[in-house]
Amino acid sequence: MSQETVLQTNVEPVTAEQLEKALAAGADYFAHQPSSQFDRCQQLLKLAQLFDDQAEQLGVQAAHDMHKRLVEGQQEAHAAANIIRYYANNGPALLSPKPYVYGQNDAHAQLEYDPLGIVLAVEPWNFPYTQVIRVLAPNYLAGNPVLLKPARSVAGCAQAMVALTEKAGFPTGAFTSLNLSHDQVANVIGDDRIQGVAVTGSTAVGRHLASLAGQNVKPSTLELGGSDACLVLDDADLATAILEMATSRLRNSGQTCTSAKRFIVRREVADQVIDGLTKIFNRQTIGDPLDAATTLAPLASKAGQERLTAQVKLALDHGAKALVKGGAVGETGFQPTLLTNLTADNPASQEEFFGPVAQLYVVDSDEEAIQVANSTPFGLAGSIFSQDLSRAKHLASRMATGQVFINKGSSGIPELPFGGIKQSGYGREMSDLGILTFMNAKIVVLPD
């Protein structure tokens, strides 16, 4: 698949007739459940293999749609395949009835899981495959059809996924992608055929869509922004910590919700950390995402570049210092930037920077590190670097986040729950929790 053969998709909003046809197809699929659970497992396994086999094509499509580096697009395709395989191999056991015992005579009951109906997935552009698959794979296995509203900039990636599901044997109505307008999304949430809403995006978008779901008494999950803290203690393996910190912050050109954005470093090792990060940040090469020599792709949009530039300027205007100046280059590029001297009243300390900009805080104690880590309205993920596992675990238990990684950067692991708290959202994707979100947990009570 060359740059000339990527999917060029019409991103005009769908008509009312097209929307009704999609909803009717999803409702019909749900009502008749044309595939058995075994069939769905086999179709998911086939889909996973297609993601692996077509990783390069999918990577080219992502490079075209949102400037993702080819190698990162390929890695994302393989990550999507891993999520799919997890649910194909483990989903039936996760959904099996669970026995309960009740009463003085130890009578029996069992908890059964029934699908609810069509799940609306509103997904962004930064990870156009895995963010969709985190919703599609468990819900397809469970019997819930999925209606995807992708970000318009990655409509080509969405179209590519629809084609793969069709090739894998998904029945009509099981998975549909529509370029819905904001008004159409609101109307769809109010439609009785929609029984769940999964949202990944900004806090503002999540708040709005969750309110619509709440007004219609429908379950929802929100995976929103993050300003993840990375704690580097005085006994950390600095070679490992510095590499993991830089890799996390620069992954996907810094456009990752769960990347380490705030480096909270003990004063004893701060100079070494700054020196190591500065060297890595300064040697990045921005260029064509399809060029193997490129180490940092351009941002996905001009608007993203302008927003990041304004945020950095505002931080500097409020007293921050740039250890690595970086900044906008070319049409949408952005050189890595490392900020420090950020006080509590600096607006940057409370914002998410969606690009290759890191904040560095120097602290004198573990207690101060935790206070800084928990001082934002976000709580998605975090990381701690220390050679004292007990010390790291103690601090991890005090971090107000949905995930904490010790001596490694954050990542999505199919077997583990993914999600946040505070303004980073609620609910969990992946693992057993991800398949139960949009299920009716029905207790069947047997006579005693």
Instruction: State phi, psi for 329 to the nearest 5 degrees.
Output: -140, 140
What domains, with CATH codes, occur in the chain? 16-224+424-445 (3.40.605.10), 229-406 (3.40.309.10)
Phi/psi of residue 263, nearest 5 degrees:
-90, 115
- Residue 266 is encoded by which pair of tokens? 């003990």
Which residue in 223, 244, 351, 352 is the catalytic one? 223
Q: Indicate the length of the chain as a whole number.
A: 448
Cα–Cα dist 192/203, whole Å: 25
41 catalytic residue (yes or no): no
For 122, 366, 440, the CA distances from 265, given in Å and listed in that order, are 36, 10, 45
Question: Strands 382-385 and 228-232, how do they pair?
Answer: parallel
Considering the chain, what is the average pLDDT of its residues? 96
Cα angle value 301/306/311 (rounded, 5°): 125
**Tens digit of pLDDT for each residue in 394-436?**
999 999 999 999 999 999 999 999 999 999 999 999 999 999 9
| Residue 223 is a catalytic residue | yes
Tell me if 137 sits within 8 A of 112, measured CB to CB.
no
Q: Give me the catalytic one of 41, 157, 230, 257.
A: 257
* Total-model pTM: 0.96
State which amino acid sits at residue 260.
Answer: A
pLDDT in tens, 81-130: 999 999 999 999 999 999 999 999 999 999 999 999 999 999 999 999 99
* pLDDT band per the 50, 70, 90 thresholds, residue 10: low
Each residue's pLDDT tens digit, 140-182: 999 999 999 999 999 999 999 999 999 999 999 999 999 999 9
